[in-house]
Chains A and B, each alone.
Chain A
Amino acid sequence: MKSLPLSAIFWLACAAVNGAEEWLDRLDETLTISAFNDTVRARLSGTIELEAYYFSLPAAGLIESASETLLNPRFTLFLDAQAGSHIYFFAQARLDGGFDPSDGGLEMRFDEYALRYTPWEDGRLALQIGKFATVVGRWNERHLAWDNPFINAPLPYENVTAVSDLEPPVSARGFATTRITAAEKYDFTPILWGSGYSSGLSVAGRLGKFDYAAELKNASLSSRPESWDIANRGFNRPTMSARLGFRPNPAWTFGLSASRGAYLETADVLPRGKSLGDYHELVFGQDAGFAWHHWQLWAEVYEARFEVPNVGNADTLAYYIEAKYKFTPRFFGALRWNQQFFADVRDGDNRTGSWSEDVWRIDAATGYRFTAHTQLKLQYDLGRHDSGRAGYGHLFGAQFMVRF
């Protein structure tokens, strides 16, 4: 099953590097159609990615693998369509080993689909409904592989904490002594689970130098991909999120985000009289960005509070600073410093202590664009990836991709 997509990726990659540039440009034009005197237009595009990882176990972030190496092919299709200047629709479908890199079998998913209505052309208001990335923060603007200077996500978006939405702790002592093993890692949650393609509706717009966005979604920022689909989780415990942005000029952006929503998926160990809707994840985020000539800089800080059954409030703070520089038209480099701190909680014996060990990670990446459609990225991470592990964790990743 895996050999067919892998060989297709290999041959497409070779063809792309060896002078298929014009062919891909023509394919782009072929996959763009219009009707009704160009009022209705649609464009199909996509990426073919092949990622290879070598890491110390347990793997960093949300990589799910029992061995130290992982090959992760991915085929992504995008549809962008518009009807006049007011209606816009987009969708993203993926064929890969899971939303996060894993050694599981290939699966096909609709990760995003959304309809947007923009009543005025000046962008003061846009209404959107569907399954789409969260409005919180600004990493989502560059989370797709072509735009992301790195192969993985910043720490707040992928570092699993001791908070579990599937197996909440039965006691404060159990929570404070949680050790996350490689086999159980997928039972725990980060502050934000990647791009957060949950389902719901949003309102957004720009007023002068300010922009705003608010969304009502079916799952919290930390919810796992299985919860994002409204057919799986329903809409009875909605999450409210918002972001207010300030852009004094095209070079600088600043933003404040906030989110509140129920994150638990199981009611098995809840105290008597409590329900899933009583336990929230609260997030307050700040972001800043700067771009000038060949420099791009980003920084985000997230303060999160998980209301944990049988424990109380578990607070954590995570941030990252990221820089990218283009050395030549084709060659770029990027560095990212990530850290996460955990506050104290009171255990069953009334003693206080950090509910997890503080984590840091430095990511270094370089990328080379062979053509406007092909790109190779290499990345090395060093850090304390997971609580409970002695020493440092390493990750080496390589990602080759073709965009059409």
Chain B
Amino acid sequence: MHFTWFLPLALMSVSTGALAQAVIEGRVLLSEARSAPVMNKRYEIVSKGGVLATNPPLAVVYLEGDFARAIPAHDKKVEQKEMAFLPALLPVQVGTRVEFPNLDETFHNIFSFSPAKRFDLGRYRPDERPIPAQIFDKPGLITLRCDIHEHMRGLILVLATPHFVVTDPDGHFQIKGLPPGRFRLKAWMSSKTTLEKEVELKNGSTMRVDFP
């Protein structure tokens, strides 16, 4: 009997809560340096031509704070496609499972010596199932490499927050669905450079933050 009036109230509350969530948007001034990799084909005389994709500099913007720790619902993917990692930079929440599908016709051998996650997936075929995967359970930066193709380099940034986003190549970003409160907003630009700013978020507000 009581449910008849409780349900609309509950829905109204959820709806108001969603509307009340804060948004941060802005721009990170990215470095102009970008990598245009060169493939070593010295002893692979039978190789396809092609030019490797150029990776534009990107940043990861994330909100640091004491958030309830939830296991990420979705797996992520880092593909090996046309002799490159795609995406070249992937931020994930701690506990995320990342699959590494091989979409090339040749072997790859992904490995990481990074302290946050050491692994070596070995050589596996494009059609191999299950697709090799790793769970990233410690925050930190993981450098992905291929033991066969030395030019291949990828990054996984494991974060202890569910609130993060990768900038576009112009440095623009927008993070939605943020809770109110005082936090640190960080912009990870490279293994050596992370910029940060204090932010105070209010219900329903949109805040603009630029780095630097």
| Same complex origin of A and B | yes
- Picked from A29, A41, A204, A371, the residue with its CB within 8 Å of the CB of B45 is A204
Interface positions of A from 73 to 102, Cβ below 8 Å from B: 78, 80-82, 84-86, 88, 90, 92
Asked if residues B38 and A32 are in contact (CB atoms below 8 Å), the reply is yes
Chain A residues within 8 Å of B49, by CB? 85-86, 118, 120-123
Asked if residues B143 and A32 are in contact (CB atoms below 8 Å), the reply is no
Question: Is B33 an interface position by the 8 A CB rule?
Answer: yes
Question: Is A107 an interface position by the 8 A CB rule?
Answer: no
Q: Mark A13-24, 1 if CB is under 8 A from B, else 0.
A: 000000001100
Question: Is B176 an interface position by the 8 A CB rule?
Answer: no
Given contacts A249-B125, A291-B107, are A122 and B38 in contact (CB under 8 A)? no
Binds B, one of A49-57, A133-141, A340-348: A133-141
Asked if residues A372 and B113 are in contact (CB atoms below 8 Å), the reply is yes
Question: Is B72 an interface position by the 8 A CB rule?
Answer: no
Interface positions of B from 1 to 53, Cβ below 8 Å from A: 33, 35-51
Chain A residues within 8 Å of B105, by CB? 250
Question: Is B111 an interface position by the 8 A CB rule?
Answer: yes
Shortest distance between the CB of A115 and any CB in chain B (Å): 12
Asked if residues B192 and A41 are in contact (CB atoms below 8 Å), the reply is no
Chain A residues within 8 Å of B36, by CB? 32, 34, 38, 41
Binds A, one of B87-95, B115-123, B200-208: B115-123
Shortest distance between the CB of B139 and any CB in chain A (Å): 18
Asked if residues B47 and A369 are in contact (CB atoms below 8 Å), the reply is no
Least CB separation from B153: chain A residue:
A25
Range, interface on chain A: 35 or more
- Number of B residues near A (Cβ < 8 Å) is 40
Question: Is B54 an interface position by the 8 A CB rule?
Answer: yes
Asked if residues A293 and B123 are in contact (CB atoms below 8 Å), the reply is yes
Q: Mark B142-175, 1 if CB is under 8 A from A, else 0.
A: 0101000011010000000000000000000000
Chain A residues within 8 Å of B194, by CB? none
Bound form: Cα–Cα A205–B44 in Å: 10
Bound form: Cα–Cα A116–B45 in Å: 9
Shortest distance between the CB of A27 and any CB in chain B (Å): 13
- Picked from B33, B50, B145, the residue with its CB within 8 Å of the CB of A372 is B145
Shortest distance between the CB of A300 and any CB in chain B (Å): 15
Least CB separation from B111: chain A residue:
A329
Least CB separation from B53: chain A residue:
A38
Chain B residues within 8 Å of A43, by CB? 37-38, 40, 151
Chain B residues within 8 Å of A81, by CB? 38
Asked if residues B45 and A128 are in contact (CB atoms below 8 Å), the reply is yes
Asked if residues B120 and A326 are in contact (CB atoms below 8 Å), the reply is yes
Least CB separation from B106: chain A residue:
A250
Asked if residues A42 and B48 are in contact (CB atoms below 8 Å), the reply is no
Given contacts A141-B43, A213-B45, A329-B113, are A42 and B38 in contact (CB under 8 A)? yes
Bound form: Cα–Cα A120–B46 in Å: 12
Asked if residues A82 and B125 are in contact (CB atoms below 8 Å), the reply is no
Chain A residues within 8 Å of B35, by CB? 29, 32
Shortest distance between the CB of B123 and any CB in chain A (Å): 5
Given contacts A82-B39, A132-B42, A204-B46, could you give 12 more A-B pairs where the C-beta distance is less than 8 Å? A38-B51, A38-B54, A39-B51, A42-B38, A84-B51, A123-B48, A126-B45, A250-B107, A251-B125, A293-B122, A293-B123, A329-B119
- Name 30 A/B residue pairs within 8 A (Cβ), A-sorted: A21-B113, A32-B36, A32-B38, A34-B36, A38-B54, A41-B36, A43-B38, A80-B39, A81-B38, A82-B38, A90-B40, A118-B49, A122-B49, A123-B47, A123-B48, A123-B49, A126-B45, A126-B46, A126-B47, A135-B45, A140-B43, A206-B46, A249-B125, A250-B126, A251-B107, A293-B123, A329-B118, A330-B113, A371-B113, A372-B113
